[in-house]
Structure 1
């Protein structure tokens, strides 16, 4: 029976030796509250690194971290495959919905905007579309201003993200430093996305 841990291991097992070493290096360099030291991954097998990922980020949270790091090292295809497999697993566990139905959102009105607050399956819009949002969101400054105004970010974190080079790295910072706080914060973020990147949101919703 497939589990999230097994799917993570399969993703790592499919990497070339060079890409696996790059993945481990990216894992060690990853910023955030939960860090992985070099000693935990150096000369370790793929199964051992899988165990480190699950023990550090939990089995529920580790797939998103793996997907993020796969994208960072240029293995976007592997990241997408993992996302799809996790989505299918989550769909089956939540009552056998088809994979195409996973992440269908309830659209509600909030501040005169149509905002998809959360996925019926339990996978939030911003989690389901993490890779696409990191790659495609460009109006970061206005979104950061909105997060600051709504009290999601403090000035120190706001400045840290703004001073980060590159929109994709800024988006990763937003995920790491703000969006881990829960669905309420994610809902505010999606509302701001709808205001600043409405065409992108509409495009992503077509696949929901």
Structure 2
């Protein structure tokens, strides 16, 4: 299993987008109605690394993941969204011990739901998380 950070996985996912899809991603990011919101000035004309820094500083590293996956799905980049979920599921498994009794478990279950795991794998991991 890869020991890739979420931030690095975000960078790699955005690198896989075409220029048109990256522009759609920026547009959807700016169009989000939920807080916290991202300002246009923070993303216009920025590099992928700068855009990733904005995502992490706005949403935190763990919080940026579901936001990015959701936006990727909204713009029709489902393969990238699934790949991002698969890359980072290991991070959540390793960090699960720190989530006992916290809302972090909601993020873990969200990640599992979008990770592309089979129903049996998802059920097994969900049962495991319920025990911690």
- TM-score in terms of structure 1 length: 0.49
Q: Specify the structure having the higher radius of gyration (Cα).
A: 1
Structure 1 runs of 4+ aligned residues shifted over 4 Å read 92-95
Higher relative helix content = 2
User: Is the contact made by 1:68 and 1:131 (CA closer than 8 Å) also made in structure 2?
Assistant: no
Deviation at 1:207, TM superposition (A): 3.4
Provide the residue aligned with 1:3 in structure 2. 5
The gaps in structure 1 that reach 5 residues or longer are 96-117, 133-203
Q: Deviations over 1:144-169 (max 9, x none)?
A: xxxxxxxxxxxxxxxxxxxxxxxxxx
Query: Which structure's relative contact order is higher, taking Cα pairs within 8 Å and 6+ residues apart?
Result: 2
Provide the residue aligned with 2:75 in structure 1. 73
Bigger CA drift: 85-94 or 32-41?
85-94
Provide the residue aligned with 1:206 in structure 2. 120
2:121 match: secondary structure: coil
Aligned length: 112
Q: Provide the alpha-carbon RMSD of the alignment.
A: 2.4
Query: 1:92 & 1:74 partners in 2: Cα distance?
Result: 30
Provide the residue aligned with 1:129 in structure 2. 113
Query: 2:81 & 2:33 partners in 1: Cα distance?
Result: 19
User: Is the contact made by 1:34 and 1:56 (CA closer than 8 Å) also made in structure 2?
Assistant: yes
Query: 2:67 & 2:37 partners in 1: Cα distance?
Result: 11
Deviation at 1:123, TM superposition (A): 1.5
Query: 1:131 & 1:39 partners in 2: Cα distance?
Result: 32
The gaps in structure 2 that reach 5 residues or longer are 98-103, 123-132
Provide the residue aligned with 1:57 in structure 2. 59
Q: Deviations over 1:61-109 (max 9, x none)?
A: 10110000000100000000001111023224558xxxxxxxxxxxxxx
User: Is the contact made by 1:8 and 1:82 (CA closer than 8 Å) also made in structure 2?
Assistant: yes
Query: 1:60 & 1:131 partners in 2: Cα distance?
Result: 15
- TM-score in terms of structure 2 length: 0.75
Equivalent residues in 2 for 1:1-208, closer than 5 Å: 2-93=4-95, 123-124=108-109, 126-130=110-114, 205-208=119-122
Deviation at 1:59, TM superposition (A): 0.5
